[in-house]
Structure 1
Amino acid sequence: LSELQILDLSNNKGLWGPIPSKIGTLKNLVNLVLVRCNFSGPIPESVGSLQKLTSLFLNSNSFTGSIPHSIGSLRNLVWLDLSDNQLDGPIPVSNKTAPGLDVLLNAQHFHLGQNKLSGEIPLGLFSSKMSLVHVILNNNQLNGSIPDTLGLVQTLEVIRLDGNSLSDPVPENLKTLPSVTELYLSNNNLSGQIPDLTGMNLLTYVDLSNNSFDRSGVPQWFTTLPNLTTLRMDTTGLEGPIPAELFNLPQIQTVVLRNNKLNGTVNMGTSFSSDLRLIDLQNNSIDEFHLGQYSYKVLLDDNPFCREPEAAGICKTVQAPLFPNFTAQQYCAPLSCFLDLVGSDCTRPYLGSLIFRSFNFSDLENLFYYDFLMDTLQPLLAHLKVPVDKVCLISSMINMYSYLVLNIAFFPPGGAFFNRTGISTIGHVLNNHDFISPYGPYYFTDLAYPSFPGKSKNTG
């Protein structure tokens, strides 16, 4: 195995226990992909010996302990994904005796979310020499300030620091990052003024909810970001009137401003974006709301306006779903065959989920996004000679981590079953491909395939 360049064992739940330290002897390894197995224990320091490695995917396992400093030795590394494990301790940066993640100047992806990482985000983690595109540190136990060195990484497109215990004001220089499209800072203890995002004209998705910002009027940048599709500012200390221009941003789909002190009159009239599908202003101090010609979902409970007789047709007790979802019945034939007995005469699709850690839209009922994905997937698989007859979407939802989950069915060509090679090839392709906007970084998980030819059951 000394000449092995790609090792992909993803979605094998039968693989468990620690990774052997001998993994470090595979000196020619370029891609190490161990997504969603049952590996546990510490990540071996010997991983740092894989000097040719460009992709390290260890996400969705049960690894424990700290992130090895030795990963900082992987100077060719482009993609580091350690998310969805039980890793703890600080994020390693260089010291006098060992390298850290700060010297990975070719890295484009730091995916470290859904762990138990603690302490401050090190000031030395970021520099202007870096090539980072995605910094995803969500749902850890990080505290302290957001380092202003983050604003030096001019290549950044996605920043996810949500679900931590970060405090203090947001660094002012974040607004100098020219390419950021998605910014998640929600569910922290950030304070001071609401950050000024003026000039971040590529922003599509902003979530600053549930922080401890100073009370303030609606920031001017609310109405000046031309590509904004989603604005979530739940519990952020907003007060005063809402500018009508917010609802007329050309691509706005979702506006969530609940649990603030907003007041005055909102008049939708006829001047609102044709893409706008949800306005959530619950628990504010809105005195009047005029729908005009707007006919999509409005949530206004717990506003003074809702006590008025004329509000009866508007202030309906309808809650936005906790986790928005969409069932795409028009895309897939019934999937009852998936669980049928082997002897039945029907095609058995391979089912899995594409889980996107970032995406730049929020209207799950807009079929454009699914058509785009299907039009991307089908030719990709055909080009790589992956044996698939049809790919279709079953359903979608946004989960508790604000990840977009797309449930997909792959149908086998010319027969009722996929063979083992077909299944493993699909998984390999999907765990080694990077989609383009409007979809961001993702990983692929599958369901156990129910049967192979000549077998009554198989766990995949």
Structure 2
Amino acid sequence: MGKVPMDTLQLVCIQIAIALLLFTQAKSITEERSSHPNDTITSCIAGERSSLLTFRAGLSDPANLLSSWKGAECCGWKGIYCSNRTGHVVRLDLQGIHCASGDGTQVLAGNISSSLLGLQHLRYLDLSCNKFDKIQIPEFMGSFHKLRYLNLATSLFIGRIPPQLGNLSNLRYLNLRSSTDWCFDDSFCTGTYSTDVTWLSRLTSLEHLDMSSVNLSTTIHWLPVVNMLHTLKVLRLPRCQLRSCPDSLPLSNLTTLEILDLWGNDFHKLSTPNWFWDLTGLKYLDIRRSSFYGPFPEEIGNMSSIVELRLSHNNLVGMIPSSMKNLCNLKRLSTSKNNINGSITELFHRLPSCPRNKLQYLMLWGSNLTGSLPATLAEPLSNVNFLDLGDNKLTGHVPVWLGELTELTVLDVSYNNLDGVINEKHLSRLDKLLALTLSDTSIAIIVSPTWVPPFSLGIIHLQSCQLGPEFPTWLRWQTQAWSLDISNTSINDMIPDWFWITASSVDYLNIQNNQITGVLPSTIEFMRAKEMDFSSNQLGGPIPKLPINLTRIDLSHNNLVGPLPLDFGASGLAGLFLSNNMISGAIPSSLCKLQSLLLLDLSRNNLNGPITDCLVNESSINMTGLSIINLSLRNNNLSGGFPSLLQKCPQLISLDLGHNKFSGTLPTWIGEKLSSLSFLRLRSNMFYGHIPVELVKLVNLQYLDLAYNNISGSIPRSIVNCKGLTQTRDYAGDFEYLFTSQGSYGYFPYSENSTVLTKGQERLYTGEIIYMVNLDLSCNSFTGEIPAEISALVELKSLNLSWNSFRGKLPENIGALTQVESLDLSHNDLSGEIPSSLSALTSLSHLNLSYNNLSGKIPTGNQLQTLDPTSIYIGNPDLCGPPLTRKCSSQPEPIPEHHEDASEDDVVSFFLGTGFGYVMGVWVVYCTFLFKRKWRASWYLMYDRAYVQVAVIWASLRGKIG
């Protein structure tokens, strides 16, 4: 054979070397590749099978997820993956389901046995999204030295994160996301924490770190530790209660970092300088809700790789920097809830203006933007598919160029001062549109009745737009909508039959505050709706069976007639509002089937008869009580005693039975069975008897109205036990769900309407009733003195004790009621002077002390000087001093001795005796002079001498004066 050229030999050697290298890598990959139940099953190693079975024995598996864990071949079990070459378990994937679906039953719970240490070849471990509640992350997790992937996210672990995890030097992915994101009960879900994160510095191969919601509030020097992870690509530390954010790093090792998530922390510092603005390789930056303040940093323009930038809910001010025009890769920008306070046109000019613009998502909600939308299309918006300009101060018409954004899926210009008309030109090319939100604007949508939209919307929010007077026919084609709001849109028309077909797939439906007529069809029960608001219309007819999935319905202020249905259909109903209709008949026992019912308003109807304890009649229902927290039955014709049914409502916070025909005494069980009661209104009924002492054991009571009944006796002195009347409460925390169902119990807002007699007139209160602290016992038969303890109710805003028979003096310390705005003590038998402390009531705007027996000087000063005296003091003739014209005497007259038991006969006898004695004295002197001549001569002699002496002296004085 001929000699092989050297270069050819070298080429062959290189090819062989490459082949060997590829073979080695393939072999390595083959060894790492795990078997799967669908693949050829590798024989299981007995010791590892034993470890897995011991691990399973410590778990709780309610859904039997590990039912396949039986037999000898563990490599075929659910979640187990083995090496094809060695048979060792290299992957354990037991992720629960509740992270994605919220299904709390498809999870594992219990303890994590240390038997897992038998799996020393484990490279992948995922126990995320389970419910290992009330246990810490085991320290032995730091002993899986070959582990590359560890995911323990949102599995309800608590306590300190073990620093032993720093031993996992081969780890590339670490997710310790705390479960506080998924918990609604903070006392149950306390989450995890770490006071020292130096153990992270030993994870030198880490590429992905997620410690979302882990409490790092005491960790100060977290950034230098993270800076040692030079391979890091993803860093997620949102809601970690971080407080320190260095301005810069002396030498940044985070050159590979692409994703940085710091939202929801407590930095409270200027927006610039900050260390992350120097990371020009970042693709994703999220610093929302982190209390940054100051101007939008110019350094943003240097982040040439940025794809998504989230700056919302900070205190950034001023226009976005013009340097943002250079961000050619920017796809998503969110600056919501900052104070840009500038022209929308100028902002559009500062958006990226690269030749191939990539901007797709623009969230500018609540940014205090001003001016009109530009008349022509700005180039940066040509590819936008999500445009939110809501809650700003934009004015003028909606420009036609919005209809040229053919990629648009979401358009929100709600809560602005926009007006004008939207027609087919604006909408006909938006065939990808999924959400149209124009709420709280003055925009009129005027299209042809025969126009067929090119889009199929999922969200249609048009509240307060101009759609009427006819029902908008273009809605007929929106059969895929799941949220529809056409409330307050000037529709004055009968609801068409096709509407119920269109709305059959809607989850949230709101047509309130129109003039819509018609009846609710029987087919409504087959709708998918969860919440419906038909209030303030002119709908008539009876109430049909409701959709099975319904949780809230508002039919108040309509013309509904007939009785309440015997079967509501919606067993999960939480809010039922039927006030201001013409519903008649008795309250049916079917209400007792609504075990999830929280808010019930049947006020202002024609309901009659007693309220029976329907729980007794519903023997087929096994229940311990109802869930109602707000019950209003006022302004009906209901009768009978105080409803015994209420004993089965232990969560009741607000009860209004006013303006009915209830009678009898107030039961003593109120204090025990209704211990959560804060608002009690029994006004205008026929209750009698005393206030039971048990009633004032309601420590949360802040609103008590017993006016216009026939209740007698005295005010219990133990009323000071009602802490709601004496101590400030956190109303937002206590009652955010009580009178408004938005958020906690509703998609659309509901406000409780209640009239309160205060300041001399009836006033309508809506949601703000929660701030009302009121005691009204007027128009009853109360007697005795007003107890001094009334002055301890310092949170009272309104106190009305008028039209009773209270006597005695006013409490001396009544001026301690510094919050009181309305005070009415008129038409009683109160006496004595008005306490000077009354002038300390600086919040007072209404005062009535008329028709009592008050006396003395009226106190002056402060708020009393601003009140109209014409009706305050009338009927108290012994009052004096300003502002009355009757002056008080400067010198007090001698007070005759007064005996409280003296009768009128004694007084008459006194005056008769005095007169008779005077007459007898005169006659004795006269008779003496008549019959005693010597006495008479002596008297006249004395008189003459005295007369002469006086005359001489007088003449002498006149001479000197002259």
Q: Match for 1:207: what amino acid?
A: H
1:168-317 correspondence runs (5 A): 168-172=420-424, 173-191=426-444, 193=446, 198-211=452-465, 213=466, 215-249=468-502, 250-263=504-517, 265-270=518-523, 273-289=526-542, 291=544, 294=547, 296=550, 297-305=552-560, 307-309=581-583, 317=602
Q: Match for 2:342: what amino acid?
A: G
Tell me the residue number matched to 1:119: 371
Return the offset for 1:238: 0.8
C-alpha distance in 1 between matches for 2:582 and 2:447: 32
2:531–2:746 Cα contact (<8 Å) kept: no
Q: Aligned with 1:305: secondary structure?
A: strand
Choose which of 13, 36, 41 in structure 1 pairs with 2:289: 36
Q: Aligned with 2:301: secondary structure?
A: helix
Return the offset for 1:32: 2.5
C-alpha distance in 2 between matches for 1:92 and 1:30: 27
Tell me the residue number matched to 1:55: 308
Choose which of 327, 337, 351 in structure 2 pairs with 1:100: 351
Choose which of 253, 261, 281 in structure 2 pairs with 1:8: 261
Return the offset for 1:126: 4.6
2:525–2:546 Cα contact (<8 Å) kept: no
Q: Aligned with 2:341: secondary structure?
A: strand
1:92–1:100 Cα contact (<8 Å) kept: no
Return the offset for 1:14: 2.3
2:330–2:352 Cα contact (<8 Å) kept: no
C-alpha distance in 2 between matches for 1:151 and 1:55: 25
Q: Aligned with 2:285: secondary structure?
A: strand
Q: 1:399 to 1:39 in 2, by over 3 A?
A: farther
Deviations 1:148-197 (A, max 9, x none): 21111111111121111111112532242111111111011223637988
C-alpha distance in 2 between matches for 1:261 and 1:180: 29
1:92–1:101 Cα contact (<8 Å) kept: no
Choose which of 374, 384, 388 in structure 2 pairs with 1:132: 384
C-alpha distance in 2 between matches for 1:311 and 1:133: 54
Q: 1:260 to 1:120 in 2, by over 3 A?
A: same
Tell me the residue number matched to 1:341: none
Q: 1:56 to 1:243 in 2, by over 3 A?
A: same
C-alpha distance in 1 between matches for 2:401 and 2:298: 28
C-alpha distance in 2 between matches for 1:399 and 1:260: 16
Q: 1:298 to 1:116 in 2, by over 3 A?
A: same
Q: Match for 1:42: what amino acid?
A: P
C-alpha distance in 2 between matches for 1:298 and 1:396: 11
Tell me the residue number matched to 1:166: 418
C-alpha distance in 1 between matches for 2:309 and 2:335: 8
Choose which of 156, 159, 168 in structure 1 pairs with 2:408: 156
C-alpha distance in 2 between matches for 1:120 and 1:102: 21
Return the offset for 1:257: 0.8
Q: 1:32 to 1:397 in 2, by over 3 A?
A: farther
Bigger-Rg structure (1/2):
2
Tell me the residue number matched to 1:357: none
Return the offset for 1:118: 1.1
Tell me the residue number matched to 2:273: 20
C-alpha distance in 2 between matches for 1:399 and 1:83: 23
Deviations 1:350-378 (A, max 9, x none): xxxxxxxxxxxxxx99xxxxxxxxxxxxx
Q: Match for 1:228: what amino acid?
A: A
Q: 1:275 to 1:151 in 2, by over 3 A?
A: same
Q: 1:31 to 1:316 in 2, by over 3 A?
A: closer
2:359–2:381 Cα contact (<8 Å) kept: no
Q: 1:143 to 1:273 in 2, by over 3 A?
A: farther
Q: 1:166 to 1:94 in 2, by over 3 A?
A: closer
C-alpha distance in 2 between matches for 1:242 and 1:399: 21
Q: Aligned with 2:529: secondary structure?
A: coil
Q: 1:289 to 1:122 in 2, by over 3 A?
A: farther
Q: 1:207 to 1:82 in 2, by over 3 A?
A: same
CA RMSD of aligned residues (A): 3.6
Gaps of 5+ in 2: 1-251, 562-580, 589-599, 604-628, 630-741, 750-962
2:409–2:433 Cα contact (<8 Å) kept: yes
Q: 1:290 to 1:396 in 2, by over 3 A?
A: closer
C-alpha distance in 2 between matches for 1:203 and 1:37: 34
The aligned length equals 324
C-alpha distance in 1 between matches for 2:535 and 2:322: 47
Return the offset for 1:74: 1.0
- Higher helix fraction (1 or 2): 2
C-alpha distance in 2 between matches for 1:223 and 1:317: 33
Return the offset for 1:308: 3.8
Tell me the residue number matched to 2:395: 143
Return the offset for 1:304: 3.1
Q: Match for 2:514: what amino acid?
A: N
2:326–2:353 Cα contact (<8 Å) kept: no
TM-score of the pair, normalised by structure 1: 0.61
1:34–1:57 Cα contact (<8 Å) kept: yes
Structure 1 stretch 7-16 or stretch 234-243: which is displaced more? 7-16
Q: Aligned with 1:88: secondary structure?
A: coil
Return the offset for 1:288: 2.9
C-alpha distance in 2 between matches for 1:72 and 1:253: 41
Deviations 1:353-411 (A, max 9, x none): xxxxxxxxxxx99xxxxxxxxxxxxxxxxxxxxxxxxxxxxx897599xxxxxxxxxxx
Return the offset for 1:266: 1.8
Q: Match for 1:160: what amino acid?
A: D
Q: Aligned with 2:505: secondary structure?
A: coil
Return the offset for 1:241: 0.7
1:126–1:153 Cα contact (<8 Å) kept: no
Return the offset for 1:305: 3.4
2:526–2:547 Cα contact (<8 Å) kept: no
Q: 1:50 to 1:39 in 2, by over 3 A?
A: same
Q: Match for 1:170: what amino acid?
A: I
C-alpha distance in 2 between matches for 1:399 and 1:161: 19
Q: Aligned with 1:41: secondary structure?
A: strand
Q: 1:125 to 1:62 in 2, by over 3 A?
A: farther
Identity %: 22
C-alpha distance in 1 between matches for 2:493 and 2:485: 17
Q: Aligned with 2:422: secondary structure?
A: coil
C-alpha distance in 2 between matches for 1:134 and 1:22: 30
C-alpha distance in 2 between matches for 1:8 and 1:102: 26
1:21–1:44 Cα contact (<8 Å) kept: no
Gaps of 5+ in 1: 322-363, 366-394, 401-460
